[in-house]
């Protein structure tokens, strides 16, 4: 990261930690399990699966497994990894007696710019903008002790839950128009659905009528109620887990086996119980939107930790080397692969691509996810044989260090 002349630069391949790259690759691919629903179906279907499309037979099982094993799990891991990455960058620069703040904030600024372009011109489900906003804040806490970081992270997560309970309780006092507005988001009527379908099946300019207000809502209301607290809290937790050696496969195999079992038992119990409560309450807005989500909100932490432990066990054992090296390559090019997923999906689902928005059921979406996974697992290692970075990583690093980075290996 700092050469013999004292010039600050990106982390070299020899400095990378294999388990971190593998885990980042797992998170990047796993995120698509849920993102595909946002690309393929109306916005409400992501939050309320009864609002659009078939939810019986194989589609029910696809939704159930996606919710139990995917929803918020891989986003959690990705946020944890992002927090660890902030700490790694800062510590390596400061270890050479240099100031890391200027690099961090340039890096964060350019991520924000990339995220804004991504969200307003391509896809409203962008995570780069909230990550950049959170990174600007959590960096200030990087020197706290691991235990303090974890406590602060959990308090941040708790803040969102308290806001949800407060808003859920206060619904009884809302004016009718406010309740109706939320209902149109949770269970839109035929006219609203038709308008959204027409927009995303139409031209790029047609899509802007839906994309711009949705992106703005996610980056303001949703960020202040949910995304900022969760992503920021998990970044702080990621710093703690990195300092404890949990993300770098430094702990014992026994530690990871216990974490895997406890995480699955605690996490799956909460998430599955939450599903039963959704069904028992008939997916009602009053229960599901504010209260029902909390089981998965917290249960996902246990499942995510179990996945982390499973990945660390594989890395420690040296098993599945072909797969782990492919995942490592995906992790090293995570930003490029994330943006490529968007380009592939908007081509498939939006006009003027194939215009399949609203036409592909959940089982078909998973087949598309599998195909994208295979392509990225095959092509990412091939790319890195010739190039140091993914194209988006190269651009991001060149802008961060304000110097054209060498691209060829």
Q: What is the pLDDT of residues 72-117, one digit of tens each?
A: 999 999 999 999 999 999 998 888 888 899 999 999 999 999 999 9
Q: Under a CB-based contact definition with an 8 Å cutoff, are residues 25 and 315 in contact?
A: no
With a CB cutoff of 8 Å and minimum separation 6, the contacts of 344 are 372
Residue-wise pLDDT for 310-357, tens only, equals 999 999 999 999 999 999 999 999 999 999 999 999 999 999 899 999
What's the chain's average pLDDT? 95
With a CB cutoff of 8 Å and minimum separation 6, the contacts of 170 are none
Q: How far is the C-alpha of 278 from the C-alpha of 280, rounded, in Å? A: 6
Q: How far is the C-alpha of 299 from the C-alpha of 361, rounded, in Å? A: 27
Q: Under a CB-based contact definition with an 8 Å cutoff, are residues 154 and 237 in contact?
A: yes
Q: Please report which confidence band the pLDDT of residue 215 belongs to, taking 50, 70 and 90 as the band edges.
A: very high
For residue 408, which phi and psi values (nearest 5 degrees)? -75, 145
């Amino acid at each position: 990261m700092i050469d013999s002349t004292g010039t600050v630069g990106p982390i070299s391949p020899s400095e990378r930690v294999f388990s971190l790259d593998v885990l980042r690759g797992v998170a990047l691919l796993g995120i698509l399990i849920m993102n595909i629903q946002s690309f393929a179906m109306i916005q409400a279907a992501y939050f309320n699966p009864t609002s659009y499309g078939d939810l019986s037979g194989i589609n029910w099982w696809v939704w159930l497994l996606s919710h139990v094993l995917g929803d918020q799990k891989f986003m959690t891991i990705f946020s944890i990894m992002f927090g660890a990455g902030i700490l790694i960058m800062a510590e390596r620069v400061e270890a050479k007696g240099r100031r890391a703040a200027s690099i961090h904030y340039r890096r964060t600024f350019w991520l924000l710019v990339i995220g804004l372009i991504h969200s307003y011109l391509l896809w409203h489900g962008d995570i780069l903008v909230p990550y950049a906003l959170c990174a600007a804040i959590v960096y200030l806490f990087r020197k706290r002790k691991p235990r303090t970081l974890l406590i602060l992270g959990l308090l941040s997560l708790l803040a969102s839950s308290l806001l949800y309970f407060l808003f859920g309780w206060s619904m009884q006092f809302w004016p009718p128009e406010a309740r109706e507005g939320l209902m149109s988001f949770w269970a839109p009527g035929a006219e609203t659905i038709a308008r959204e379908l027409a927009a995303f099946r139409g031209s790029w300019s047609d899509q802007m009528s839906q994309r711009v207000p949705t992106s703005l809502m996610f980056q303001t209301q949703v960020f202040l109620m949910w995304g900022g607290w969760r992503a920021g809290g998990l970044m702080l937790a990621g710093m703690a887990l990195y300092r404890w050696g949990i993300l770098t496969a430094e702990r014992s195999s026994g530690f990871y086996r216990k974490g895997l079992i406890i995480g699955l038992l605690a996490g799956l119990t909460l998430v599955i119980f939450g599903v039963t409560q959704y069904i028992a309450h008939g997916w009602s807005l009053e229960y599901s939107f504010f209260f029902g989500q909390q089981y998965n909100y917290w249960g996902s932490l246990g499942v995510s930790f179990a996945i982390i432990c499973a990945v660390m066990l594989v890395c420690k054992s040296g098993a599945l080397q072909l797969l782990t090296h492919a995942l490592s390559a995906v992790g090293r090019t995570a930003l490029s692969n994330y943006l490529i997923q968007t380009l592939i999906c908007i081509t498939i689902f939006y006009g003027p691509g194939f215009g399949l928005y609203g036409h592909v059921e959940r089982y078909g979406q998973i087949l598309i996810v599998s195909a994208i996974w295979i392509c990225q697992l095959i092509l990412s290692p091939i790319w890195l044989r010739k190039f140091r970075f993914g194209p988006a990583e190269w651009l991001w690093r060149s802008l961060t260090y304000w110097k054209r980075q060498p691209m060829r290996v």
